[in-house]
Amino acid sequence: MEKQTFIVPNISCGHCVMSIKGELNEIDGVKSVEGDPDSKSITVEWESPTSLDTIKEKLQEINYPAD
């Protein structure tokens, strides 16, 4: 299992975090998504078949690109 924290500058509130969590949890292989609007960060834990690129692509697609 892999885990990474992403900085997402577009996060402005808890609703943003909830939107991201909802979208990422739909990806096959994503096990957990936690977010903090104060630090503008999202921590994702995943396993195969999901990849780092898949997660980054989804964040880009939903207008929350990660730095």
| pLDDT tens digits along 7-60 | 999 999 999 999 999 999 999 999 999 999 999 999 999 999 999 999 999 999
- How many C-beta neighbours within 10 Å does residue 40 have? 19
Sorted by where each starts, the structural domains of the chain and their CATH numbers stand as 2-61 (3.30.70.100)
Q: Which distant-in-sequence residues (6+ apart) come within 8 Å of 16 by Cβ?
A: 10, 35, 37, 64
DSSP label at residue 36:
E
pLDDT, residue 7, reads: 98
d(CA 37, CA 31): 20
Cα 60 to Cα 1, 21, 63, 64: the distances in Å are 23, 14, 5, 6
pLDDT value for 2: 97
